[in-house]
Amino acid sequence: MNTDQFWQVIDATRAATQEEQLEKFKRELQCLTGEELIEFERHFRQYKFAAYNWDLWVVAWLCRGGMCSDDSFTDFRSWLISRGRATYEAALADADLLVEEMRESEDVTFEVFAYAPSQIYEELTGDDFPDLDFQRPKEPSGGDWLRPELKDRTGSKILNRCVVFNEMGDEEYSAIERRFPRIWALCVEKGIINSGDQSPASASPSKLPTWEQIAGTVDPNLAKTDFAAYVKALGDAAQKAYKKKD
C-alpha cells in the first residue's frame, strides 16, 4: 500500500458524524488483506508521528479550552488524519489553517479511529496485530514561539509535556496570537479566550478559563474545588510512590 492508496481509504470515509465515519472506515478496511492492513497501520503511525508538533498541540489546546493532555493530543492527531489528506497536509504547513475544521467539528479528538486497523486485522486473521517496532519522536517539533527553557524537560520529573502550556506567559500568548490569528479569533468568538477590554496582544494565561470554571460547566458544585491543588497533590503522591519503587 502506497501513500496515495492510504489517503484514498481515509478520504472515502468522510461523513457528517464520527459514528458514521467510523462505520465507513471499518467497511473500507474490511476490503484490505492482512498485509495491506499492516501497511495501512504503518502509514497511519508515520503520519501521526509527523504531526507531533508544538504548533498543532497549542492550537488543539486553545480550542479545547486549555485542556489537551499528552493522551488527548494523541487522539487529536488521529482526528486530524481522519479529516483527509488535504486538511492534514495544510495543517502541517500552517496549523492556523485548521480554523474551519475546528469551527465545524464538535469534537477534535477521535481515539477509536486509530484502533480500527488493528481490530479489523485481528477479526480477519484471528491473530494479534504484529509489533511494528516504531521509533517514536522524543519531543515535538516546531514551536519556535515557545521559550527553549520551557520546551526542555530534561530537568523536570513531570513526564507529561502538556504542563508546558501551564507555564507560558505573556511572551508566548502574544506570539501565539500573532502566529495563529484565525484560531485565536475563533477562540475569542466561542468565549474560550476572553479578550475583555484589553487588546489581544496583551493576552495572558488568565484569559483562559480556570480549572474551577471548567469544572463548573459540568457540575456547579465542582466549581468550589481547587483543581490545581488537587492535581498537584496527585502529582506529588505519584512522585513519592515512584521513588519508593526505585
Together in a domain, 242 and 153: no
Domains: count for the chain:
2
pLDDT grade, residue 132 (50/70/90)? confident
Q: Across all residues in the chain, what is the average pLDDT?
A: 83
Of 61-70, 172-181, 207-216, minimum mean pLDDT range: 207-216
pLDDT grade, residue 245 (50/70/90)? very low
d(C-alpha 67, C-alpha 153), whole Å: 20
Q: What is the pLDDT of residues 80-120, one digit of tens each?
A: 999 999 999 999 999 999 999 999 988 999 999 999 999 99
d(C-alpha 2, C-alpha 19), whole Å: 27
CA angle 170-69-158, nearest 5°?
80
Together in a domain, 34 and 52: yes
Together in a domain, 112 and 218: no
Together in a domain, 33 and 106: yes
Together in a domain, 196 and 221: no
Together in a domain, 119 and 48: yes
pTM of the model: 0.78
Together in a domain, 129 and 227: no
Together in a domain, 112 and 222: no
Together in a domain, 122 and 61: yes
Higher local confidence (pLDDT), 183 or 106: 183
* Structural domain range at position 32: 3-209
Together in a domain, 165 and 246: no
Percentage of the chain modeled with pLDDT above 70: 76
pLDDT grade, residue 151 (50/70/90)? confident
Together in a domain, 220 and 107: no
Together in a domain, 132 and 223: no
